[in-house]
Structure formats: C-alpha cells, structure tokens
Amino acid sequence: MYAGAKAVFYALSRSATLKRLASKYGMRSGDSFARRFIAGETVEEAIETSRHVQSQGLHLTLDYLGESVRTSQEADAATREYVRLLDVIVASGIERNISLKLTQLGAGIDRATCVDNLRRILEPAGRHGFFVRIDMENSPWTQLTLDIFETLWQQEYRSVGIALQAALHRTEHDVQRMNELGARVRVVKGAYKEPETVAYQRKADVDTAFLRLMHLLLDSGNYPAIATHDPAMIEETKSYAQQRGIGKDRFEFQMLYGIRRDLQEELGREGYGMRLYIPFGREWFPYFMRRLGERPANLGFVVRGIVREQ
Ligand SMILES: Cc1cc2nc3c(=O)[nH]c(=O)nc-3n(C[C@H](O)[C@H](O)[C@H](O)COP(=O)(O)OP(=O)(O)OC[C@H]3O[C@@H](n4cnc5c(N)ncnc54)[C@H](O)[C@@H]3O)c2cc1C
C-alpha cells in the first residue's frame, strides 16, 4: 500500500485532464480544497499566511511552487520570480527563509544554467540574511542536486542547506558527507515513488533509516531539521536529544503547511523550533498530488470539494 498509493498518485499527477479539473476548482475560493495545503496562488496570499504562522510562534520557509521546467526561458522566469520574492519578503518583514527546487531553475536543461540561476538567487539572499534550502527531488536528480550544492558551497555560499531522503539507500553516506562539510540538512522520508534498486519500499524500512539518519544528524550535524509529521519519529527525536543532552536550540522540527496542525502547535508550545513549509504559486498541482499520495484518505475532501463547487 505504501509504495502502491504513491505510484497511483504519481500516475494521476501526470494526467492533463485531472490537472485541468483540479486547477479549475482547487483554489477558486477561500475554502477550496487545495487551500488546505497551499497558501495561495499569489505572493501576497503567501505573506498573509506567513504572518499568521509567525503570530503563533512558528517559523516558516516559503516555497514558490514549480518544477521540471523545460526551457531556459522558463528557468529564467522562475529565477526572476524568486529574486522578486526575496524583495517582497524583505519589505514584508517576515522571516527570511525560502525553499526551492533545482529542476525549477533549469537542472533539466543543463547544469551551468542551473548553477548560474541558483547563484542569481543566493547572491541577494546572502546579502539580506536569508537561509535557502534546496529541496530534494526524485532520484534521477539526487547526484546532480548534491553536485550543484557542493559547487556553490565550495564557492563560499554558506547560507544554503539541502534536503535528504531516508527512503534512498545512499543517504547515510550523503548525510556523513554533509556533516563533514558542516552543511545544514533537512531529513525527510521521501515523497517520490522510487525503484527498489535505489530505495526502500516498505514503510518500516524507511522509518528505521529515518531514525538512523536522525541520530547521525543530532550527533554530528549542523542544526539539522527533522521534517516529518510522524508522531513516532518525533517522539524518538525528542527522547534521543534528551538522552544525549542535545538542547532544543541545536535542531528544529519541520512540517508542511496544513498537515498535523495539532502537532505543530504542541511542539511549538513545548519550546521546540517548529518550521512550516509554506508553498504558494500557480503550479501547485504536482505538489498537491504528492500530498494526496502520502495519505489517500485526503482524496475524500477533494471529491467533496469538487462536488460542492459544481
Ligand atoms: C518541511 C518538509 C519538507 C519536505 N521536503 C521534501 C523534499 O525536499 N523532498 C522530498 O522528497 N520530500 C520532502 N518532504 C515530504 C516527505 O518526504 C514526506 O513525503 C512527507 O513528509 C510525509 O512523510 P512523514 O514523515 O510525514 O510520514 P508518513 O509516514 O508519511 O506519515 C506519518 C503521519 O503523518 C500524517 N501525514 C503525513 N502525510 C500526510 C498528508 N499528506 N496529509 C495528512 N496527514 C499526513 C499522518 O498522520 C500520518 O500517519 C518534506 C516534508 C516536510 C515536512
């Protein structure tokens, strides 16, 4: 079921008809179904959501949605949007933290374009005191993402971190490398359907790997982000940190906007750093479908939403 649901929703995420249908209804009004996971289609809506999140004592990272662009013009447009986003964030006074995907900046076109575009974002981001997190996409992009990350790291861009996925067999090695560099890692289970040659297929195996990586990161990482909604992973993290005398200021939890708000608030109240990943933008469909794939029960509220909007 674990890998099966992801595969079905991955296939559906490529359906043009479904995309048209979802795009028509998903964000149409204030309570349309996609708004549960996506802050809005405009940067203004994202800022408003961010203010609300901050007022609850939580931290945030803003993600301008988009991925897999096909032309250098599209990659350039996405880069310009990100640069504009930095200005809007600075002007708004909210926390300076963004997340981005390299296929949005042209990783699929050629490496040099992507490195240039990333640098165009990291330059002003560094000047204005932002932290920039590079999300991890599916496994064909893992090595390239890490290579580009290290290229910029070696060029002294240091306000940048990476996400690594527990589902992949290779990740323990990658975590060790990032710990050696002193780079900040966000550990996640992994949102993509991956082949068994590269990834664990059973939830229990992914969970075991996640805990092993959490240990490595708490022991020798640089302010790691433990990004999960899974209460078992969160409890293990808290107790490992307590046993080892690792203070609450040495790591943070992260969750996705709209998922397990109860747990988000609880961790915030307990004094843990709790950062929400807040996605916005018109290209929300693939992100939204990954969230459904993680929890097919969510399909119920989508169907109810479409019926209600008819
Ligand atoms: C801040 C953040 C950033 C991320 N960045 C990346 C990235 O760069 N690359 C990447 O591959 N993945 C990323 N992910 C997604 C991640 O890989 C998982 O797919 C996702 O977090 C679900 O796994 P889980 O750890 O919450 O555990 P699961 O075992 O999937 O779920 C545990 C529990 O969490 C709740 N839950 C989980 N998902 C949902 C949902 N969609 N709707 C409602 N409840 C849910 C349920 O209660 C469930 O029982 C990110 C996740 C977070 C929180």
- The pLDDT mean for the chain works out to 93
Mean per-residue pLDDT, 20-45: 84
> Is a pLDDT exceeding 60 seen at residue 310?
no
Does residue 162 line the site of ligand 1, with CB under 6 A?
no
> Is a pLDDT exceeding 80 seen at residue 135?
yes
Q: What tens digit of pLDDT does each residue of 47-95 get?
A: 999 999 999 999 999 999 998 899 999 999 999 999 999 999 999 999 9
Does residue 230 line the site of ligand 1, with CB under 6 A?
yes
CA-277 nearest atom, ligand 1: 1
Does residue 36 line the site of ligand 1, with CB under 6 A?
no
Does residue 305 line the site of ligand 1, with CB under 6 A?
no
Does residue 254 line the site of ligand 1, with CB under 6 A?
yes
Q: What tens digit of pLDDT does each residue of 35-58 get?
A: 989 999 999 999 999 999 999 999
CA of 259 to the centre of ligand 1 (A): 8
Q: Which residue in the list 186, 275, 290, 291 is annotated as catalytic?
A: 186
> Is a pLDDT exceeding 90 seen at residue 293?
no
* Dihedral of the alpha carbons of 230, 178, 150, 89, in degrees to the nearest 10: 50
Mean per-residue pLDDT, 298-306: 70
- pTM assigned to the model: 0.94
CA of 82 to the centre of ligand 1 (A): 24
CA of 290 to the centre of ligand 1 (A): 9
CA-134 nearest atom, ligand 1: 8
- Which pLDDT score is estimated for 26? 80
Q: What tens digit of pLDDT does each residue of 156-213 get?
A: 999 999 999 999 999 999 999 999 999 999 999 999 999 999 999 999 999 999 999 9
Alpha carbons 113 and 144: distance in angstroms, whole number: 13
> Is a pLDDT exceeding 60 seen at residue 1?
no
- Which pLDDT score is estimated for 115? 98
Mean per-residue pLDDT, 117-139: 98
CA of 73 to the centre of ligand 1 (A): 32
- Which pLDDT score is estimated for 92? 98
Between 293 and 211, the higher pLDDT residue? 211
Between 219 and 28, the higher pLDDT residue? 219
- Which pLDDT score is estimated for 2? 61
> Is a pLDDT exceeding 70 seen at residue 289?
yes
First to last CA, the chain: 31
CA nearest ligand 1 atom 27, residue: 230
Mean per-residue pLDDT, 103-131: 97
Does residue 260 line the site of ligand 1, with CB under 6 A?
yes
Is 135 among the catalytic positions? yes
What pLDDT band is residue 136 in, cutting at 50, 70 and 90? very high
Is 51 among the catalytic positions? no
Q: What tens digit of pLDDT does each residue of 236-283 get?
A: 999 999 999 999 999 999 999 999 999 999 999 999 999 999 999 998
Mean per-residue pLDDT, 217-229: 98
> Is a pLDDT exceeding 60 seen at residue 235?
yes
Q: Which of 214, 294, 299, 301 to mutate to test the pocket of ligand 1 (most atoms within 8 A of CB)?
A: 294
Alpha carbons 163 and 252: distance in angstroms, whole number: 14
- Which pLDDT score is estimated for 3? 64
- List b or e across 149-180, with b for residues whose CB sees 16 or more CB atoms inside 10 angstroms: beebbeeebebbbbbbbbbbeebeebbeebbe
What proportion of the chain, given as a percentage, has pLDDT over 90?
79
What pLDDT band is residue 307 in, cutting at 50, 70 and 90? low
